[in-house]
Each structure stands twice: as C-alpha cells, then as structure tokens.
Amino acid sequence: MTTKQSMNIDPYEKNWIRLSIGLLIAFAIAVSVAGFAMGIQVPSPEQRVDPNTVAESGPWANPGLRTIQEGKKYEAYVLAQTWQFLPREMTVPAGAEVTFYVTSKDVQHGFKLQNTNLNVQIVPGQVSKLTVTIDEPGRYDFICTEYCGLGHAAMFGTLIVE
Ligand code: CUA
C-alpha cells in the first residue's frame, strides 16, 4: 500500500499566491528603476562622529560652505543644535551642485530644504549626506522637521540661490 501525498491548493488561494508573487516582482522593478534609472537617493549614514566633540573639532567646528569647484560644486557642513542650524544662511549660485553634510550635537532634528525633495533625519553621532542642484534662484528655507523641544518651530535657516 502506498500513500501518495500531493498538495492541494484551492484555485482561489492559488490566485492570491500568484498575485503576491506578481506584486513582489513589481515592487522589485519599481525600486530598481527608482534607484538606478531615476537616481532617487535614500538617505544613508555617511559617517559617524562624536556628538560631544563635533562642534569643537573637525569640519562642523567651522560650519558653512566649502567651494569644491567655483560656481559648480559646493559642500555645505551644517550643524544642528537646539534650536538653530549653523550657519543660518548660505549663498550658492543657481545650477550648482550642493552636497549637504548635516549632523547634530545634541538631540534628534530634521532637515528639510523647502521646495526640493531634500528631506533627512538628523541623528546625533551620524552624518546625513544629500546632494541637490537648484536651478531656480530664490530663498530656500531649511527647516527642522522633528520635534526637538521648545524652540523647534523657530528652528530654520536659509539657502540663497542666486
Ligand atoms: Cu530641531 Cu525640531
């Protein structure tokens, strides 16, 4: 006597399995297109720093713009603290590529550059890096998007594009 085991899947359930596999494939394609074809960046920890000393030594001791290539490429070192960004104001030429390196010396903050897709969490001890190119001249405020205490609502700075 032999017993033959077979898996019986209800046709209705089979369709849901097919749909689930189809969705996984669709999501994998969407993530690949966004990442490789459209260049959408996910903020990732760039480097670690010591929040206790970050304001005293290293690039954030003297926060602000660094010119990498005049008129074309800049780096912006921004220090977040309760309740302000340092520097409060920076000016770059229109069409220049600006890479932000933002960190916090105290609590968790947020960094959102208005009217752009640049929006990142600022965690003490971590450096958040994001690159943006702005062609349209104007004043772009960067605001804190994570509640960080009493002065949270007043925590902002400005990037001037001219
Ligand atoms: Cu800093 Cu909210």
Tens digit of each residue's pLDDT (9 = 90 or more) over 119-135 = 999 999 999 999 999 99
Residue-range definition of the domain harbouring residue 25: 9-40
DSSP state of 1: -
Gap from CA of 113 to ligand 1 centroid (Å): 14
Atom of ligand 1 nearest to the CA of 109: 1
Nearest CA to ligand 1 atom 1: 109
Q: Is the CB of 147 under 6 A from ligand 1?
A: yes
- Domains of the chain: total: 2
Asked whether residue 78 falls in the same domain as residue 29, the answer is no
Q: Is the CB of 155 under 6 A from ligand 1?
A: yes
Q: Is the CB of 143 under 6 A from ligand 1?
A: no
Query: Is the alpha carbon torsion for 102, 108, 109, 111 positive or negative?
Result: positive
Beta-bridge partners for 7: none
Q: Is the CB of 144 under 6 A from ligand 1?
A: yes
- The tens place of each residue's pLDDT in the chain, 162 residues long, gives 566 677 888 999 999 999 999 999 999 999 999 888 887 777 666 789 999 999 998 999 999 999 999 999 999 999 999 999 999 999 999 999 999 999 999 999 999 999 998 999 999 999 999 999 999 999 999 999 999 999 999 999 999 999
Asked whether residue 126 falls in the same domain as residue 48, the answer is yes
Asked whether residue 61 falls in the same domain as residue 16, the answer is no
Is residue 3, in this structure, part of any structural domain at all? no
Asked whether residue 84 falls in the same domain as residue 29, the answer is no
For residues 85 and 125, is the Cβ–Cβ distance under 8 A?
no
Ordered strands of the 119-122 beta sheet: 89-92, 156-161, 138-143, 109-113, 119-122
Gap from CA of 146 to ligand 1 centroid (Å): 5
Is residue 1, in this structure, part of any structural domain at all? no
Q: Is the CB of 16 under 6 A from ligand 1?
A: no
Q: How far apart are the first and last CA of the chain?
A: 86
- Whole-angstrom distance, CA of residue 100 vs CA of residue 113: 10
Is residue 62, in this structure, part of any structural domain at all? yes
Q: Is the CB of 123 under 6 A from ligand 1?
A: no
For residues 92 and 161, is the Cβ–Cβ distance under 8 A?
yes
Instruction: State residue 43's pLDDT score.
Output: 63
